A and B are shown apart, each in its own frame.
Chain A
Amino acid sequence: MEHPLLFLSIILDALGLPAHGGQSVLAQALAPHMQYSYLAMGICVVLALLATRQLEMIPKGVQNLMEMFVKWVEDFIDEQTHDKRKTLIILPTMATFMLYILVGNYMGLIPGFMSPTANLNVTLGCTAISIALYHILGIRFHGFGYIKHFMGPIPWMAPMMFPIEIFSHIGRILSLSIRLFGNMVSKEILLGLLFMLAGPYLAPLPIMFLGVLVCLLQAFIFFVLSIVYSVEAMAEGH
């Protein structure tokens, strides 16, 4: 779906850069979802820099906010792992996921902006990181024995269990990426439609309200499931 009005695209157009997608590498790197993805990354980085620039014993302002966020994430992961060391290993990735997806989702509610997460490429990229992370963690914690996780409990059933496990993991990849993408893009399409049909009479307002909830919920779901999969890969075998 082509967005009617995107600020970053207009700015890039004024600079003479290809801002609406295309075949060349530059056009692909500057497609609308990429622009807003860069913006979301920029917001995350600026928040982190503002929070850590002047560290004080008694936090205030942005530092206070970010400390609260990191503390909440840490406690949340700790509840699942019950192990400080494992928590600290996955904490940075998970906090980044939460922050990036949250910022990306909420960006779509501002007129003139779009959610980078309303594009399958972005969510599939996030999912690829999450999936690769938990397999790497599994290999790191179990060495070569990680393959036993795929073999099931009974040795003679292993040749049958292996493909089943493979497909259950592929199902995870698809469900993780397509859910986030689907929710975001459906919200955008619904908003666009309602705005075109009955924009002047505040018709999109209920959907916007629903969108506020869905944005938070979807970011949270991605975050929780990444943690659950990582914890499961790090746990002792079946």
Chain B
Amino acid sequence: MGNIKKELGDLFRSLSVASTIALSIVFSIFAGVLAGYWLDVKVFDGKTYPWLTLLFLLFGIGGGIKNFFIMTKRFSKEANRDEGPSGEGAQKGE
């Protein structure tokens, strides 16, 4: 009984992390583009039009990649932990 409960918990946790990876990438890119567009059009009155949008698009992509790395690290940490103490030891070295 306890084993099933633990497995179900692990499954749900993996599901939650895995489904978050994609969404957090998409939304941080989206937020970057929107912020850049808002700065261009509303704050600087369209004088700087394509440049701030492009710059903030890059920032957004960077943020997305960063979220991706954090989540993937977490995911592999959880996968390693199930395999025993060797995974824990490898994590300590970071």
Contacts and interface: CB of A to CB of B under 8 A. Distances in A.
Given A217-B15, A228-B74, A232-B70, A163 B59 contact: yes
B12 A171 contact: no
A209 interface: no
A232 B73 CA distance: 12
Nearest to B34: A170
Interface in B1-34: 9, 12-13, 15-17, 19-20, 23-32
A171 B31 contact: yes
Contacts of B56: 163, 167
A225 interface: yes
Contacts of A194: none
Nearest to B21: A175
B3 to A, nearest CB: 15
A164 interface: yes
A220 B25 contact: no
B62 A175 contact: no
Interface residues of B, number: 29
B9 A167 contact: no
Interface in A25-57: none
Contacts of A164: 59, 62-63, 66
Interface string A144-174: 0000000000000000100111111111101
Interface string B25-59: 11111111001000000000000000000001001
B32 A167 contact: yes
B63 A174 contact: no
B63 A221 contact: no
B12 A172 contact: no
Contacts of A168: 24, 28, 62-64, 66-67
A166 B36 CA distance: 13
Contacts of B16: 217, 220-221, 224-225
A175 B27 contact: yes
Contacts of A217: 12, 15-16
Contact of B9 (A76, A165, A170): A76
Contact of B63 (A166, A178, A179): A166
A43 B29 CA distance: 38
Interface of A: 76, 160, 163-172, 174-175, 178-179, 217, 220-221, 224-225, 228, 232
23 contacts: A76-B9, A163-B56, A164-B63, A166-B63, A167-B32, A167-B59, A167-B62, A167-B64, A168-B62, A170-B28, A170-B63, A171-B28, A171-B31, A171-B63, A172-B24, A175-B24, A178-B23, A178-B27, A179-B20, A179-B23, A220-B12, A224-B13, A232-B70
